[in-house]
Chains A and B, each alone.
Chain A
Amino acid sequence: DGGITQSPKYLFRKEGQNVTLSCEQNLNHDAMYWYRQDPGQGLRLIYYSQIVNDFQKGDIAEGYSVSREKKESFPLTVTSAQKNPTAFYLCAVGQGFGNTIYFGEGSWLTVV
């Protein structure tokens, strides 16, 4: 939403391949999040980061990795260890406690 850019919008992954989803923000917010959404289900937290060079696992971190080298960027890598990666991935940013979180437009990942 607004200053959050996710790319690519659509991505196809072959078996055994690692792929990276990009999330960039210009809202100057400290917190960034990655969520996974499966059809008809709520969002599940993969990873989150409160500050640069620090990130924490969410509820479903297995098979995923992240980095936070810059405040503006929080890329997500879907590794070959993630057995069921086909889903809609959403990046969000926020200012922490009690504040609204803002979402990007999402990225669709499909295994072929």
Chain B
Amino acid sequence: KQEVTQIPAALSVPEGENLVLNCSFTDSAIYNLQWFRQDPGKGLTSLLLIQSSQREQTSGRLNASLDKSSGRSTLYIAASQPGDSATYLCATQYNFNKFYFGSGTKLNVKP
């Protein structure tokens, strides 16, 4: 069974700092990997989707990379802002119904 791990579980940084969130997975036979944002008591919002054939995806201040061979993905957030404070989850997809989610990294960006 696929295991998805996110380290650290929580991260606190000052505003303006560039930061990296990590996601690792045990089985490299994935179709894609997604990064989501979850605000307290809310659903998940998709941030970036990386297909297995891609190495990275960018959206605004966010950049996600994927290294299937090593079972790792990173989410890079540039010039962090207090509004970026949320929990960030990654998920791998194997087939139609198989999405495996990490438990998330709770990010706090201090003004």
Whether the pair B49, A100 counts as a contact (CB closer than 8 A) is yes
Shortest distance between the CB of B30 and any CB in chain A (Å) = 11
CA distance A105 to B43 in the complex (A): 4
Q: Which residues of B contact A58 (CB under 8 A)?
A: 97
As a 0/1 sequence over residues 83 to 107 of chain A, the CB contacts with chain B under 8 angstroms (1 = contact) are 0000010101000111111111110
Which A residues form the contact surface with B (CB < 8 A)? Answer: 1, 4, 6, 31, 33, 40-43, 45, 48, 50, 56, 58, 88, 90, 92, 96-106, 108
Q: Which residues of A contact B32 (CB under 8 A)?
A: 98
Q: Specify the main secondary structure of chain A where it touches its partner.
A: strand
Q: Specify the main secondary structure of chain B where it touches its partner.
A: strand
Task: Tell me the count of chain B residues lying within 8 A, CB to CB, of chain A.
Answer: 26
Whether the pair A97, B89 counts as a contact (CB closer than 8 A) is no
Q: Which residues of A contact B42 (CB under 8 A)?
A: 105-106
Q: Which residues of A contact B101 (CB under 8 A)?
A: 42-43
Q: Which residues of B contact A45 (CB under 8 A)?
A: 97, 99
Whether the pair B41, A106 counts as a contact (CB closer than 8 A) is yes
Not counting A45-B97, A97-B96, a sample of 8 additional A-B residue pairs whose C-beta atoms are within 8 angstroms of each other reads A42-B100, A42-B102, A42-B103, A43-B101, A50-B97, A100-B34, A102-B46, A106-B43
Whether the pair B96, A42 counts as a contact (CB closer than 8 A) is no
Question: What residue in chain A is nearest B51 (Cβ atoms)?
Answer: A98
Would you call B81 an interface residue if the criterion is a C-beta within 8 Å of the partner chain's C-beta atoms?
no
Using known A-B contacts A40-B103, A42-B101, determine if residue A1 contacts B43 with beta carbons closer than 8 Å.
Answer: yes
Q: Which residues of B contact A106 (CB under 8 A)?
A: 41-43
